[in-house]
Amino acid sequence: MMGMIDNWLERHRHPASLALHAVGIPLLVAGLLLGAWQLWHGMWSLWWRPVGLIVVSYILQGIGHAIEGNDMGEVVVIKKLLGKPYVAIAPPREERS
């Protein structure tokens, strides 16, 4: 478990990325929970609420990864499966220039 946390922290070093993830991850969880609750109660017409939360969550996290210079975890998995190059952990900014 600590290895996973250490890996996550290594992929999210920039303070702005951490802040965006601190907002985005709870929004994702809220969207998933709201979606499950709405499905359970047959509230099909309100599908846009959980979808909106999930989309905003991924946009915020995507901005964080753009700041970091690495791919989002889900994108890394897809690129690995397709045999495409990916950036799991970006080098520090000093080394990029």
Judge contact between 54 and 28, C-beta under 8 A: yes
Structure-token match 């964080």, residue found: 64
Q: Which residues contact 42 (CB under 8 A, 6 or more apart)?
A: none
Q: How confident is the model at residue 92 (pLDDT cuts 50, 70, 90)?
A: confident
- In terms of Cα–Cα distance, which of 33, 80, 75, 73 is closest to 53? 33
Which amino acid is residue 18, in one-letter code?
Answer: L
pLDDT tens per residue, range 24-78: 999 999 999 999 999 999 999 999 999 999 999 999 999 999 999 999 989 999 9
pTM of the model: 0.84
Q: Is it the case that residue 90 has pLDDT exceeding 60?
A: yes
Q: What are the structure tokens assigned to 43, written together?
A: 């509230």
What pLDDT, on a 0 to 100 scale, did the predictor assign at position 96? Answer: 56
